[in-house]
Chain A
Amino acid sequence: MTQGNLYAPYLMRVDEVVEETVDTRTLKLSFKDPEVAAKFDFKAGQFGEYSVFGAGECTFCIASAPTRKGYIECSFKKVGRVTAAMRELNVGDTMGFRGPYGNSFPLDKMAGKSLVFIAGGIGLAPVRCVIQNALDLRDKFKDITIIYGARSVGDLVYKRELDEWAKRPDVKLWQTVDPGGETKEWKGQIGFVPNVVEKAHPMALNAFAVVCGPPIMIKFTLPVLAKLGFKDDAIYTTLENRMKCGIGKCGRCNIGPVYVCKDGPVFNAAEIKKLPPEF
């Protein structure tokens, strides 16, 4: 009998490589073992340990939605050894995946409510998972507002989807780029995400906000949401602490009383405010 262990990944085939920006790519992956593919399930917000054999493992959220079966996607920026190796992968190549790990966005609690998605840069990846999930179950939710910004037009990810969302009558999409990051053709907003949130003025009544992006963006967005009337327990985000095992053993993602890999990565702002500022 062959023995498995916790750290043995599933093998995945790279089905599609999407060039998002100069340094960001999305890989569409499917399980090589049909049995695993049939059984695999996850919830929006969960993450995995993706690996390129010989380079190592790296932690990313699952960027696609659990409602879209048969594949998962991950979006990554080339910053280190593993992501550099991931950039070398082509369609048909094999990589590893362990997961799904961690908690998820409380979609049950969000049912019947309005949703406000706020993201900056590649922070759209974990948010996109919830957006797709919510759009696939559109009847379950009231208003859906998406506010997405990046440093420049070239830094916007998931452009094809942004176009789709823009066309949908049941989605309010605000796109923005930082001042100076616009092009001549740019028709969206120019300004920082927190300012655009203020301008968009989403209603806080019966609404949840999901905010992901650079720490600085989150820092300045939270007071705006508070001003709009969003309570801390109605604002969700993900923490992106460094991880290795993903299953509460290696100790790396521990902040105060929580292990981001086990208690997170999804937290509401009330929970985050109780944590020591070590994220």
Chain B
Amino acid sequence: MQELRELAKKLLAEGAVKVVVGYAEGRQGVRPIFAATPEDADKLIFDPRCVQNLATYLSPRRAHVAALGKLAVVVKGCDAMAAAGMIREAQRKRDDFVLIGVRCGGVLADPRASAAVTEATVAARCPGCEVREPKIVDHLLGPLPPAPPGASALDARIAELDAMTPEERFAFWTSELAKCVRCNACREICPMCFCVRCVCDKSQPQWIESSPHARGNLAWHMTRALHQAGRCVGCGECERACPVGIPLSLLNRKVARVVAERFDYVVSDDPEKPAPIGTYRLEDDQEFIR
């Protein structure tokens, strides 16, 4: 913790960055802080409640954050993958920002929770994580904690869904997506949803109906899932932001599995490794097109 605060103060004092985006104690749990002064830097913390993906604030769509000047951002492995994604897809340049990496042993599901990371409390996405020590970062802090305990609850749920008949699976998703009110929180919080003009906002022609009914919701969530294929960093922020509790992580992780199998591609924090969505390879399996 002290290491993080000292580094933040140094970066601010040297003028290397204008603001350090990190985690701090809020009235209820942990929340982002935009530290511009040594006093604010002294509020920085990192612990298993630091759930939020702060790389989101690097998105070119956050004009009001960009206006602050050059940022340093505290990133876990999953967050670093999002920063790498923005570089990979030419949204930001590597030296536009400073990344302060933190070694991570998994986080809780809710930044307001207070508990040790156990098999019961760990965020569903964390077990099996392969980016606990981000590589793309400028600074890497803290000792490496033990790996997140247990096995991923997401994988278990995906296995259950995979075992269903297509009709059962469709019924499951239909009932989940029926809850959607089309607030777009999933999109707005997603670090990889940086399109200046989202396909769901286009009206000429209107590909996706904006109404929260079965047709519109299915079109929106399927389109988003497919656009996230090979891009989603699995940070789970969309699901956390969803005010009606749609299990979006299940959808995204399932798609990531398919991408791994079909295209031998796993999202990483290596910005040089091209994503399959923008890459053509002769050896790609194309039987699904027929």
Query: Direct contact between A and B in the complex (CB less than 8 angstroms)?
Result: yes
A80 CA to B206 CA, complexed, in Å? 11
- B28 at interface by CB-CB < 8 Å: no
Nearest B residue (CB) for A56: B203
A80 CA to B202 CA, complexed, in Å? 10
A81 CA to B202 CA, complexed, in Å? 9
A84 CA to B203 CA, complexed, in Å? 11
- B204 at interface by CB-CB < 8 Å: yes
B260 to chain A, nearest CB (A): 39
A84 CA to B202 CA, complexed, in Å? 14
Give the interface of B toward A (CB within 8 A).
Answer: 203-204, 206
Classify chain A: how many residues form its interface, as a range. under 10
Residues of B within 8 A of A81 (CB): 203-204, 206
A84 CA to B204 CA, complexed, in Å? 9
* 1/0 contact string of A79-106 vs chain B (CB within 8 Å): 0110010000000000000000000000
Interface secondary structure of A, over-half rule:
helix
B29 to chain A, nearest CB (A): 31
Question: Of residues 157 to 189 in A, which have CB atoms within 8 Å of B's CB atoms?
Answer: none
Residues of A within 8 A of B204 (CB): 80-81, 84
Residues of B within 8 A of A80 (CB): 203-204
Please count the residue pairs between chain A and chain B whose beta carbons lie under 8 angstroms apart in the complex.
6
6 CB contacts below 8 A, A to B, read: A80-B203, A80-B204, A81-B203, A81-B204, A81-B206, A84-B204
* 1/0 contact string of A55-85 vs chain B (CB within 8 Å): 0000000000000000000000000110010
Residues of A within 8 A of B206 (CB): 81
Nearest A residue (CB) for B205: A81
Residues of B within 8 A of A84 (CB): 204
Residues of A within 8 A of B203 (CB): 80-81
Nearest B residue (CB) for A84: B204
A20 CA to B206 CA, complexed, in Å? 28
A81 CA to B206 CA, complexed, in Å? 9
6 interchain residue pairs of minimum CB distance: A81-B203, A81-B204, A84-B204, A80-B203, A81-B206, A80-B204
Nearest B residue (CB) for A55: B203
B205 to chain A, nearest CB (A): 9
A84 CA to B206 CA, complexed, in Å? 13
A261 to chain B, nearest CB (A): 21
A79 to chain B, nearest CB (A): 10
B199 to chain A, nearest CB (A): 15
A80 CA to B204 CA, complexed, in Å? 7
Nearest B residue (CB) for A82: B203
A81 CA to B203 CA, complexed, in Å? 6
A84 CA to B205 CA, complexed, in Å? 11
Nearest A residue (CB) for B203: A81
A81 CA to B204 CA, complexed, in Å? 6
B25 to chain A, nearest CB (A): 34
Nearest B residue (CB) for A85: B204
A225 CA to B268 CA, complexed, in Å? 62
B286 to chain A, nearest CB (A): 36
A16 to chain B, nearest CB (A): 26
B254 to chain A, nearest CB (A): 34
A164 CA to B99 CA, complexed, in Å? 68
Question: Of residues 180 to 224 in A, which have CB atoms within 8 Å of B's CB atoms?
Answer: none
A20 to chain B, nearest CB (A): 22
A95 CA to B270 CA, complexed, in Å? 55
Nearest B residue (CB) for A81: B203
Nearest A residue (CB) for B202: A81
B86 to chain A, nearest CB (A): 30
B116 to chain A, nearest CB (A): 45
B203 to chain A, nearest CB (A): 4
A80 to chain B, nearest CB (A): 7
A167 CA to B267 CA, complexed, in Å? 72
A84 to chain B, nearest CB (A): 6
B182 to chain A, nearest CB (A): 16
A241 to chain B, nearest CB (A): 19
B138 to chain A, nearest CB (A): 40
A69 to chain B, nearest CB (A): 36
B142 to chain A, nearest CB (A): 45
A80 CA to B201 CA, complexed, in Å? 12
A60 to chain B, nearest CB (A): 18
